[in-house]
Amino acid sequence: MSQLQIDIELPTGKKYRQPRGLFINNQFVESIDKKTLDTVDPSTGKIICSVYEGNEKDVDVAVKCARDCFENVWNDISGTDRGKLMYKFAELLEEHKDLLSDIESYDSGKPRYTNAIFDIEYTVNVFRYYAGYCDKTHGRTIPVGNEKFAYYEKIPYGVVGHIVPWNYPICMAGWKIAPALAAGNVIIMKSAENTPLSILKMAELFVEAGFPPGVFNVVSGHGPVAGAALASHMDVDKISFTGSTKVGQIVQQLASSNLKAVTMECGGKSPLLICDDADLDEAAKWAAFGIMYNMGQICIGTSRIYVQENVYDKFLPKLKKRVEEVFKPGDPFGKETNIGPQVSKIQQMRILSFIDSGKKAGAKIILGGKAPSGFPEESCYIEPTIFTNVTQDMEIVQEEIFGPVVTVSKFKTDEEGIFLANDTKYGLGASIFTESYKRAHNFAKKVQSGQIWVNSTNASDFRVPFGGVKITYKKEPGYSSKVIDLEVLFDFFLTSFIFLVDSISANVGFETSFF
């Protein structure tokens, strides 16, 4: 058996062959130093397998292959032909969705039937959507006078580096890959060290779809090594990063090596307001989903619930009952399981430390608060946890926990609710439950968030913008950052060249600008 492939038996008994190598130039290869990293089943704590771990030298090889492909092959392929390749890839992704869902669940702990399968189906739609953009990179003519005319074209950046998180391995990869390819770029992807398997398996489909060698490359490895090498590489033209805010700041600093463009989405602490005219049963259903889905490992998770004080006592037992009934920790491959383990032991311990912080600060736990019984000691489960009796200055209210932990507080007036919603350094998502259009629109106007949901939460669609509006915060002034918007994400992977053409002498000059 090749060292670059390994036979794996899934918990279902199904067997498949898993690639282990770095994926460079349409081939799986060993890393130069031959180092490997283990990936673990978080439901048992047992090692699934090891994959080759890339470093600076491997990243450099991948970049050189990608650059050669971009300049000599991919850049000469028409948008229409790129679209055909992407449509073919979407078909193959759909054809292999069951296996990819199995791998995603095994490697990350996602419930296979109520979570992972939808991630793959969503990614299929993302590729089909952006395949339609491939031949639509239209420029414009610009009137500048009677003797001259100007026009600009949109052109790809070139070599784009993608750094993806472990909470949505294929889904987040798809958000980055599809628009970048549609815009005509080539890609080096640094997968998350906790969840490398599904992306490596997916890489095989790029070969089967007919993509030229060098268009799509994957380097498995650790962020401080492979990720840093990619972000700082002098021949990478753009970086797209999804992950924690602290790491995002480091990535942005590293990208300054050659002033490469950076697109980032760096987490959230989303508020959910429940007004006194809301349907409380619907509010409880969505509030539970908004923080417990994907084990709370979701950047837009509504982890801060604010309930108008005159309905607080009615709402709280409804929320507790909903979480108890629907989100019981279970086997990721169980058909009724809605919540699995956290992705790793490190993540589990991090969440438990936040829970301990809340208890020490005086918050009250009305549900959960510990690792559940009945699972292997090495597993990474956390009980869905609800805190009450919290104050705004508590760590569990202000910091992104990234787990199935929610705080529930009261507010009196709409103005106070909006103030509390904005009392955070994050601005990624926010939700309100009300039967009043006036209230909803006022909330949407005044809450500092990239997206607002009314009578739902965590709603995401590949056709709809996705993005945040800050870190900006009254306690931490002086820093502001706007992040990714999927509606214009296609244009984020293009740069505009403006051509000024003298219609008399036919001399050509140009200016460049980032679009």
Whether pLDDT at 505 is above 80: no
Q: Please say whether the beta carbons of 155 and 494 come within 8 A.
A: yes
Give me the catalytic one of 265, 324, 400, 435: 265
Mean pLDDT (the chain) is 91
Is the Cα torsion angle 124, 179, 248, 160 positive or negative in sign? Answer: positive
Residue 16, pLDDT > 80, answer yes
Structure tokens at 49: 């397998």
For residue 507, the model assigns a pLDDT of: 28
Runs of H (alpha helix) within 73-216: 79-95, 97-108, 117-131, 169-182, 197-209
Compare 460 and 12 and report the one with higher pLDDT: 12
Q: Domain segments of the chain: what residues?
A: 5-265, 271-454
**399-427 pLDDT, tens per residue?**
999 999 999 999 999 999 999 999 999 99
pLDDT confidence tier of residue 459, bands split at 50, 70 and 90: confident
The pLDDT, as a whole number, for residue 403 is 98
Contacts of 383 (CB under 8 A, 6+ apart): 329, 367, 368, 369, 370, 371, 372, 404
Does the pLDDT of residue 483 top 60, yes or no?
no
265 catalytic, yes or no?
A: yes
Lookup: tokens for 422? 């904005």
Gyration radius of the chain over CA positions: 24
Query: pTM for this one?
Result: 0.90
pLDDT at residue 245, rounded to an integer? 85
pLDDT in tens, 248-299: 999 999 999 999 999 988 889 999 999 999 999 999 999 999 999 999 999 9
List the one residue out of 198, 152, 178 whose CA is nearest residue 82. 178
Do the domains spanning 5-265 and 271-454 agree at the CATH topology level? no
Of these ranges, 144-153, 358-367, 485-494, the one predicted with the greatest mean pLDDT is 358-367
Token pair 């989303």 is at which residue? 270
Calpha distance 176→196 (Å, rounded): 16
5-265: CATH architecture: 3-Layer(aba) Sandwich (3.40)
Q: How far apart are CA 219 and CA 193, in angstroms?
A: 10
DSSP line for 454-497: ES--S---TTS------B-BTTBTT-------GGGHHHHTEEEE
Q: State the angle between helix axes of 79-95 and 97-108 in degrees (0 to 180), rounded to the nearest 10.
A: 70
Q: Assign 13 to helix, strand or coil.
A: coil
Which residues, at least 6 apart from 14, have a Cβ–Cβ distance to it below 8 Å?
Answer: 99, 102
Q: Which residues, 6+ apart, have CB-to-CB distance to 276 below 8 Å?
A: 308, 310, 311
Amino acid at 227: G
Query: What is the distance in angstroms between the CA of the first residue and the CA of the last residue of the chain?
Result: 48
Q: 181's torsion region: left (phi>0), alpha (psi -120 to 50) or beta? A: alpha
Pick the CATH number of 271-454 from 3.40.50.2300, 3.40.309.10, 3.30.1540.10, 3.90.1150.10: 3.40.309.10
